[in-house]
Amino acid sequence: LQATGSAPAGHAEAAIHDDFRNAVLAGLAARPRAIPAKFLYDAEGSRLFDAITRLDDYYPTRTELGILEACAPEIARLAGPGAVLVEFGSGSSTKIRLLLDALEEPAAYLPIDISGEHLLRACRALARDYPALTVQPVVGDFTRSLSLPPLDRGRHVLGFFPGSTIGNFTPEEAGQFLGQAALTLGPGASFVLGVDLVKPAHILRAAYDDAKGVTAAFNLNLLRRINRELGGTFDLARFAHKIVWNEALDRIEMHLESLADQTVSVAGTSFAFAAGETIHTENSYKYRLDAFTGLAFSAGWRPLAHWTDEQALFSVHFLRR
Ligand code: AVJ
Protein backbone atom coordinates (compact mmCIF):
# COMPACT_ATOMS: atom_id res chain seq x y z
CA LEU A 1 0.00 0.00 0.00
CA GLN A 2 1.51 3.31 -1.10
CA ALA A 3 0.45 6.88 -0.57
CA THR A 4 -0.21 8.67 -3.84
CA GLY A 5 -0.72 12.32 -4.59
CA SER A 6 0.85 15.07 -6.62
CA ALA A 7 4.36 14.69 -5.21
CA PRO A 8 6.86 11.80 -5.03
CA ALA A 9 7.15 9.92 -1.71
CA GLY A 10 8.36 12.14 1.14
CA HIS A 11 7.70 15.44 -0.66
CA ALA A 12 4.28 15.96 0.89
CA GLU A 13 5.89 15.66 4.33
CA ALA A 14 8.74 18.03 3.39
CA ALA A 15 6.19 20.59 2.17
CA ILE A 16 4.22 20.24 5.42
CA HIS A 17 7.46 20.79 7.41
CA ASP A 18 8.31 24.05 5.54
CA ASP A 19 4.71 25.17 5.94
CA PHE A 20 4.95 24.44 9.71
CA ARG A 21 8.15 26.49 10.13
CA ASN A 22 6.76 29.48 8.21
CA ALA A 23 3.41 29.37 10.00
CA VAL A 24 5.01 29.17 13.47
CA LEU A 25 7.46 32.03 12.86
CA ALA A 26 4.72 34.22 11.33
CA GLY A 27 2.15 33.21 13.96
CA LEU A 28 4.42 33.98 16.93
CA ALA A 29 5.33 37.37 15.45
CA ALA A 30 1.67 38.32 14.81
CA ARG A 31 -0.73 40.01 17.29
CA PRO A 32 -2.77 38.26 18.50
CA ARG A 33 -0.41 35.29 18.21
CA ALA A 34 -1.98 32.33 16.39
CA ILE A 35 -0.85 29.05 14.82
CA PRO A 36 -3.21 27.13 12.44
CA ALA A 37 -4.95 24.17 14.09
CA LYS A 38 -3.84 21.66 11.46
CA PHE A 39 -0.35 21.63 13.05
CA LEU A 40 -1.75 20.00 16.20
CA TYR A 41 -1.80 16.72 14.27
CA ASP A 42 1.70 15.25 14.25
CA ALA A 43 1.88 11.51 15.11
CA GLU A 44 1.57 12.22 18.86
CA GLY A 45 -1.17 14.83 18.30
CA SER A 46 -3.18 12.36 16.22
CA ARG A 47 -2.82 9.77 18.99
CA LEU A 48 -3.94 12.29 21.64
CA PHE A 49 -6.87 13.36 19.46
CA ASP A 50 -7.98 9.71 19.22
CA ALA A 51 -7.88 9.58 23.04
CA ILE A 52 -10.04 12.74 23.17
CA THR A 53 -12.67 11.09 20.97
CA ARG A 54 -13.10 8.34 23.60
CA LEU A 55 -13.58 10.72 26.59
CA ASP A 56 -16.95 10.92 28.37
CA ASP A 57 -16.63 14.73 28.33
CA TYR A 58 -16.15 14.83 24.53
CA TYR A 59 -19.70 14.32 23.18
CA PRO A 60 -19.12 14.91 19.39
CA THR A 61 -17.61 11.55 18.36
CA ARG A 62 -20.05 9.18 20.04
CA THR A 63 -23.00 11.41 19.10
CA GLU A 64 -21.98 11.53 15.44
CA LEU A 65 -21.36 7.76 15.40
CA GLY A 66 -24.88 7.23 16.76
CA ILE A 67 -26.39 9.47 14.08
CA LEU A 68 -24.34 7.83 11.30
CA GLU A 69 -25.36 4.37 12.46
CA ALA A 70 -29.01 5.38 12.24
CA CYS A 71 -28.82 7.19 8.89
CA ALA A 72 -26.28 4.97 7.08
CA PRO A 73 -29.01 2.98 5.24
CA GLU A 74 -30.50 6.21 3.90
CA ILE A 75 -27.06 7.51 2.90
CA ALA A 76 -26.49 4.21 1.09
CA ARG A 77 -29.81 4.58 -0.73
CA LEU A 78 -29.03 8.18 -1.75
CA ALA A 79 -25.49 7.31 -2.90
CA GLY A 80 -26.36 4.13 -4.80
CA PRO A 81 -24.06 1.21 -5.68
CA GLY A 82 -20.36 1.19 -6.60
CA ALA A 83 -19.47 4.61 -5.16
CA VAL A 84 -16.01 6.14 -4.87
CA LEU A 85 -15.46 7.65 -1.40
CA VAL A 86 -13.22 10.65 -0.75
CA GLU A 87 -12.57 11.55 2.90
CA PHE A 88 -11.10 14.88 3.98
CA GLY A 89 -8.94 14.56 7.13
CA SER A 90 -9.45 10.84 7.60
CA GLY A 91 -7.41 10.40 10.82
CA SER A 92 -7.92 6.83 12.02
CA SER A 93 -10.57 6.07 9.36
CA THR A 94 -13.01 4.76 11.97
CA LYS A 95 -16.26 6.42 10.87
CA ILE A 96 -15.88 5.47 7.22
CA ARG A 97 -16.43 1.85 8.26
CA LEU A 98 -20.06 2.65 9.05
CA LEU A 99 -20.53 3.88 5.47
CA LEU A 100 -18.49 1.05 3.93
CA ASP A 101 -20.63 -1.49 5.78
CA ALA A 102 -23.89 0.15 4.66
CA LEU A 103 -23.05 1.02 1.05
CA GLU A 104 -23.66 -1.40 -1.77
CA GLU A 105 -20.29 -2.57 -3.17
CA PRO A 106 -18.24 0.60 -2.60
CA ALA A 107 -15.47 0.63 -5.25
CA ALA A 108 -12.71 2.84 -3.89
CA TYR A 109 -11.67 4.89 -0.87
CA LEU A 110 -9.37 7.92 -1.09
CA PRO A 111 -8.54 9.21 2.40
CA ILE A 112 -6.64 12.53 2.61
CA ASP A 113 -4.69 13.30 5.79
CA ILE A 114 -1.82 15.53 6.89
CA SER A 115 -0.43 12.90 9.29
CA GLY A 116 1.33 10.45 6.96
CA GLU A 117 2.26 7.62 9.32
CA HIS A 118 -1.14 7.63 10.98
CA LEU A 119 -2.84 7.57 7.56
CA LEU A 120 -0.87 4.59 6.28
CA ARG A 121 -1.46 2.57 9.45
CA ALA A 122 -5.21 3.19 9.21
CA CYS A 123 -5.23 2.24 5.51
CA ARG A 124 -3.39 -1.02 6.05
CA ALA A 125 -6.08 -2.08 8.54
CA LEU A 126 -8.88 -1.03 6.16
CA ALA A 127 -7.39 -2.81 3.16
CA ARG A 128 -7.20 -5.97 5.29
CA ASP A 129 -10.83 -5.68 6.41
CA TYR A 130 -12.27 -4.66 3.00
CA PRO A 131 -10.33 -6.76 0.43
CA ALA A 132 -12.61 -5.77 -2.48
CA LEU A 133 -12.01 -2.05 -1.87
CA THR A 134 -9.32 -0.06 -3.71
CA VAL A 135 -7.64 2.06 -0.99
CA GLN A 136 -5.63 5.06 -2.24
CA PRO A 137 -4.27 7.18 0.63
CA VAL A 138 -3.25 10.77 -0.14
CA VAL A 139 -0.81 12.47 2.28
CA GLY A 140 -1.55 16.16 2.06
CA ASP A 141 -3.15 19.30 3.43
CA PHE A 142 -6.74 19.60 2.21
CA THR A 143 -6.90 23.22 3.43
CA ARG A 144 -4.64 24.00 0.44
CA SER A 145 -5.42 23.12 -3.16
CA LEU A 146 -4.18 19.59 -3.66
CA SER A 147 -4.43 17.29 -6.64
CA LEU A 148 -6.04 13.92 -6.15
CA PRO A 149 -5.44 10.82 -8.25
CA PRO A 150 -8.02 10.90 -11.08
CA LEU A 151 -11.51 9.91 -9.88
CA ASP A 152 -13.43 7.32 -11.90
CA ARG A 153 -16.07 9.62 -13.43
CA GLY A 154 -18.21 6.64 -14.40
CA ARG A 155 -18.97 6.13 -10.72
CA HIS A 156 -20.89 8.08 -8.12
CA VAL A 157 -18.47 10.18 -6.04
CA LEU A 158 -19.28 10.52 -2.33
CA GLY A 159 -17.29 13.02 -0.26
CA PHE A 160 -17.08 12.50 3.51
CA PHE A 161 -16.01 15.16 6.01
CA PRO A 162 -17.07 13.99 9.49
CA GLY A 163 -16.21 15.11 13.02
CA SER A 164 -17.12 18.76 12.52
CA THR A 165 -13.59 19.36 11.29
CA ILE A 166 -15.27 22.00 9.10
CA GLY A 167 -15.59 23.91 12.41
CA ASN A 168 -11.84 24.61 12.29
CA PHE A 169 -12.55 26.99 9.38
CA THR A 170 -14.15 30.42 9.79
CA PRO A 171 -17.62 30.40 8.16
CA GLU A 172 -16.11 32.30 5.22
CA GLU A 173 -13.32 29.72 4.81
CA ALA A 174 -15.88 26.92 5.24
CA GLY A 175 -17.85 28.39 2.32
CA GLN A 176 -14.70 28.49 0.20
CA PHE A 177 -13.85 24.92 1.20
CA LEU A 178 -17.35 23.72 0.26
CA GLY A 179 -17.08 25.46 -3.12
CA GLN A 180 -13.65 23.92 -3.77
CA ALA A 181 -14.91 20.47 -2.69
CA ALA A 182 -17.79 20.82 -5.18
CA LEU A 183 -15.21 21.25 -7.97
CA THR A 184 -12.99 18.42 -6.69
CA LEU A 185 -15.83 15.92 -6.23
CA GLY A 186 -17.47 16.89 -9.54
CA PRO A 187 -20.97 17.25 -11.04
CA GLY A 188 -23.58 14.94 -9.55
CA ALA A 189 -21.40 14.15 -6.52
CA SER A 190 -22.73 13.76 -2.99
CA PHE A 191 -21.13 15.08 0.19
CA VAL A 192 -21.76 13.86 3.75
CA LEU A 193 -20.58 16.19 6.52
CA GLY A 194 -20.67 16.14 10.32
CA VAL A 195 -21.39 19.55 11.84
CA ASP A 196 -21.41 20.37 15.55
CA LEU A 197 -24.28 22.54 16.78
CA VAL A 198 -24.55 25.58 19.10
CA LYS A 199 -25.42 24.45 22.64
CA PRO A 200 -25.15 25.55 26.29
CA ALA A 201 -21.66 26.76 27.26
CA HIS A 202 -21.11 24.28 30.11
CA ILE A 203 -21.37 21.30 27.74
CA LEU A 204 -18.89 22.92 25.35
CA ARG A 205 -16.45 23.86 28.11
CA ALA A 206 -16.37 20.31 29.51
CA ALA A 207 -15.77 18.89 26.01
CA TYR A 208 -12.78 21.15 25.34
CA ASP A 209 -11.31 21.25 28.86
CA ASP A 210 -11.88 17.66 29.94
CA ALA A 211 -11.43 16.43 33.49
CA LYS A 212 -8.63 14.00 32.53
CA GLY A 213 -6.51 16.72 30.92
CA VAL A 214 -6.19 14.93 27.57
CA THR A 215 -7.21 18.06 25.62
CA ALA A 216 -4.64 20.08 27.59
CA ALA A 217 -1.96 17.54 26.61
CA PHE A 218 -3.15 17.69 22.97
CA ASN A 219 -2.82 21.49 22.96
CA LEU A 220 0.56 21.56 24.76
CA ASN A 221 1.91 18.92 22.35
CA LEU A 222 2.11 21.71 19.76
CA LEU A 223 4.90 23.31 21.83
CA ARG A 224 6.68 19.95 22.11
CA ARG A 225 6.45 19.61 18.32
CA ILE A 226 7.90 23.12 17.84
CA ASN A 227 10.76 22.25 20.22
CA ARG A 228 11.52 19.02 18.40
CA GLU A 229 11.02 19.99 14.75
CA LEU A 230 12.01 23.67 14.84
CA GLY A 231 14.59 23.79 17.62
CA GLY A 232 12.24 25.62 20.00
CA THR A 233 12.95 26.29 23.68
CA PHE A 234 9.38 26.30 25.08
CA ASP A 235 9.18 25.24 28.75
CA LEU A 236 5.90 23.28 28.79
CA ALA A 237 5.50 23.86 32.54
CA ARG A 238 5.23 27.61 31.90
CA PHE A 239 2.29 27.45 29.46
CA ALA A 240 -1.27 26.36 30.17
CA HIS A 241 -4.23 25.10 28.13
CA LYS A 242 -7.00 27.73 28.01
CA ILE A 243 -10.51 27.53 26.56
CA VAL A 244 -12.72 30.49 25.59
CA TRP A 245 -16.37 30.16 24.46
CA ASN A 246 -16.73 33.12 22.09
CA GLU A 247 -20.49 33.53 22.13
CA ALA A 248 -20.57 36.40 19.63
CA LEU A 249 -18.86 34.22 17.00
CA ASP A 250 -20.31 30.82 18.05
CA ARG A 251 -16.88 29.32 18.48
CA ILE A 252 -14.76 27.52 21.08
CA GLU A 253 -11.23 28.90 21.08
CA MET A 254 -8.24 26.96 22.29
CA HIS A 255 -5.21 28.93 23.49
CA LEU A 256 -1.84 28.34 25.16
CA GLU A 257 -1.38 30.91 27.91
CA SER A 258 2.03 32.07 29.11
CA LEU A 259 2.19 31.65 32.91
CA ALA A 260 5.11 34.10 33.30
CA ASP A 261 7.04 36.87 31.59
CA GLN A 262 9.46 34.83 29.50
CA THR A 263 11.49 34.71 26.31
CA VAL A 264 11.36 31.69 23.99
CA SER A 265 13.43 31.06 20.90
CA VAL A 266 12.33 29.18 17.77
CA ALA A 267 14.66 28.45 14.85
CA GLY A 268 17.04 31.13 16.13
CA THR A 269 14.39 33.88 16.56
CA SER A 270 13.45 35.17 20.05
CA PHE A 271 9.88 35.87 21.14
CA ALA A 272 9.03 37.70 24.38
CA PHE A 273 5.82 36.65 26.19
CA ALA A 274 4.14 38.63 28.96
CA ALA A 275 2.36 36.63 31.68
CA GLY A 276 -1.23 36.02 30.52
CA GLU A 277 -0.44 36.44 26.83
CA THR A 278 -1.76 33.61 24.66
CA ILE A 279 -1.10 31.75 21.42
CA HIS A 280 -4.44 31.00 19.74
CA THR A 281 -4.20 27.38 18.53
CA GLU A 282 -7.69 26.39 17.36
CA ASN A 283 -11.20 27.57 16.56
CA SER A 284 -14.07 25.13 16.69
CA TYR A 285 -17.14 26.84 15.20
CA LYS A 286 -20.60 25.62 16.14
CA TYR A 287 -23.52 26.03 13.72
CA ARG A 288 -27.28 26.36 13.74
CA LEU A 289 -28.89 23.90 11.30
CA ASP A 290 -30.31 26.51 8.94
CA ALA A 291 -27.09 28.54 8.96
CA PHE A 292 -25.15 25.49 7.80
CA THR A 293 -27.55 24.44 5.06
CA GLY A 294 -27.59 28.07 3.86
CA LEU A 295 -23.79 28.13 3.71
CA ALA A 296 -23.73 24.85 1.75
CA PHE A 297 -26.39 26.12 -0.67
CA SER A 298 -24.43 29.34 -1.30
CA ALA A 299 -21.37 27.20 -2.12
CA GLY A 300 -23.21 25.26 -4.85
CA TRP A 301 -24.63 22.31 -2.93
CA ARG A 302 -28.28 21.25 -2.55
CA PRO A 303 -28.99 20.10 1.02
CA LEU A 304 -30.99 16.88 0.46
CA ALA A 305 -31.25 15.65 4.05
CA HIS A 306 -29.89 16.12 7.54
CA TRP A 307 -30.10 14.16 10.75
CA THR A 308 -29.47 15.00 14.43
CA ASP A 309 -29.46 13.17 17.77
CA GLU A 310 -32.34 13.50 20.24
CA GLN A 311 -30.67 16.34 22.15
CA ALA A 312 -29.68 18.15 18.93
CA LEU A 313 -26.02 18.18 19.97
CA PHE A 314 -24.65 17.28 16.53
CA SER A 315 -25.81 17.03 12.91
CA VAL A 316 -25.00 15.02 9.78
CA HIS A 317 -25.77 16.58 6.38
CA PHE A 318 -26.25 15.01 2.95
CA LEU A 319 -25.52 17.44 0.11
CA ARG A 320 -25.79 16.91 -3.67
CA ARG A 321 -24.04 18.90 -6.36
C1 AVJ B 1 -11.19 17.63 15.00
C2 AVJ B 1 -11.54 19.96 14.81
C3 AVJ B 1 -13.37 18.51 15.09
O4 AVJ B 1 -12.98 20.92 17.18
O5 AVJ B 1 -13.85 19.28 18.27
C6 AVJ B 1 -11.05 18.43 19.97
C7 AVJ B 1 -10.58 19.13 17.52
N8 AVJ B 1 -9.82 20.16 19.66
N9 AVJ B 1 -10.69 18.92 21.15
C10 AVJ B 1 -12.99 19.75 17.53
C11 AVJ B 1 -10.50 19.23 19.01
C12 AVJ B 1 -9.93 19.97 20.98
C13 AVJ B 1 -11.93 18.80 16.99
N14 AVJ B 1 -11.99 18.74 15.49
Residue nearest to atom 10 of ligand 1 (CA): 284
283-309: per-residue pLDDT in tens?
999 999 999 999 999 999 999 999 999
Burial class (CB in 10 A: 0-12, 13-18, 19+), 77: exposed
57-to-30, 62, 248, 321 alpha-carbon distances in Å: 33, 11, 24, 36
Which pLDDT band, with edges at 50, 70 and 90, does 6 fall under? very low
Count CA atoms closer than 13 A to 293's CA, side-chain side: 13
Nearest-angstrom CA–CA distance, 268 and 253? 29
- Amino acid code (one letter) for 52: I
Is the pLDDT confidence value at 261 over 90? Answer: yes
Residue 185 in this model has a pLDDT that exceeds 50: yes
Residue nearest to atom 14 of ligand 1 (CA): 165
Which one is predicted more confidently, 12 or 241? Answer: 241
User: Residue 165 C-alpha to ligand 1 middle, in angstroms?
Assistant: 7
**Is this complex scored with an ipTM above 0.95?**
yes
* Residue 29 CB coordination number (10 Å): 10
Q: What is the reported pLDDT for 5?
A: 56
- Cβ of 163 closer than 6 Å to ligand 1, yes or no, is yes
- The CB of 64 under 6 Å from ligand 1? The reply is no
Contact criterion met (CB below 8 Å) for 148 and 140: no
Given ligand 1 and candidates 38, 39, 49, which is best to mutate, with the most ligand atoms within 8 Å of its CB? 49
- Indicate the DSSP class of residue 232: -
Confidence of residue 9 (pLDDT cuts 50, 70, 90): low
| Section 275-288 average pLDDT | 98
